[in-house]
Structure 1
Amino acid sequence: MCQSKKLPQVFPCSQCGLCCQQVHLATETSYLDRGDGVCRHYDEPSKLCGIYNERPDICRVDLQFDRTYSKQYSWDEYVVMNLIACEFLQSQDTQ
């Protein structure tokens, strides 16, 4: 008998780094603020997380879905909500 394996959920991140530059906006991430709203682990030249493999749980979109939102939303709905937040940050960055 073949047992189906659950595929990992992957958030379609564009790696723009804008969420890492706005950690002061959410209570859950404000402790990461280096004093200017930017995450203390954000690497500006690469626009990537300096501790990606050890990043905090709040920064793990898939983990937050499993722990907090999976009873309220489907994965696709959750991704759409997060992408709306991403688009908002991107629209604010161009102003």
Structure 2
Amino acid sequence: MTPFPCTQCGLCCQHVHIADETQFLDRGDGTCRHYDMARKSCTIYEERPDICRVDRMYALRYAHKYAWDEFVALNLQVCASLEKPSNK
């Protein structure tokens, strides 16, 4: 299994309010309370929750539904949608 090709852009960490599974991480503005904006990194990376680990979530919840490559493609679609400017 190839690793998830994360670019460490931090966009998923800046939109935790979108998914029910990550709302508990919201510091009140949609950004994860553990995300360091200046460093573009997670302050609890080694201890981060399972929901923040693509490979772990695949094993726990999605391996019976998708092949790894398909799961990666779905996650990359989410990444791409976060890169698009919002239409407010």
Same fold (TM over 0.5): yes
Report matched runs for 1:28-47 at 5 Å.
28-47=21-40
Q: Does 1:64 align with 2:51?
A: no
TM-score, L = length of structure 2: 0.93
Match of 1:16 in 2: 9
Single out whichever of 84-93 and 23-32 deviates more from structure 2.
84-93
How far did residue 92 of structure 1 move?
2.6
From the CA coordinates, give the structure whose radius of gyration is larger: 1
Q: Deviations over 1:1-57 (max 9, x none)?
A: xxxxxx6x4110000000000000011000000000000000101111111000011
Give the one of 69, 72, 80 matched to 2:73: 80
Alpha-carbon shift at residue 77 of structure 1 (Å): 0.2
Counting aligned pairs with the same residue, the percent is 56
**Aligned residue type for 1:81:** L
String of CA shifts for 1:34-93, please: whole Å, max 9, x gaps.
000000000101111111000011101000000100001000000000000000001136
Question: Which runs of no fewer than 5 residues in structure 1 stay unpaired?
Answer: 1-6
State yes or no: 1:26 paired with 2:33: no
Runs of 4+ displaced beyond 4 Å: none
Q: CA RMSD in A?
A: 1.4
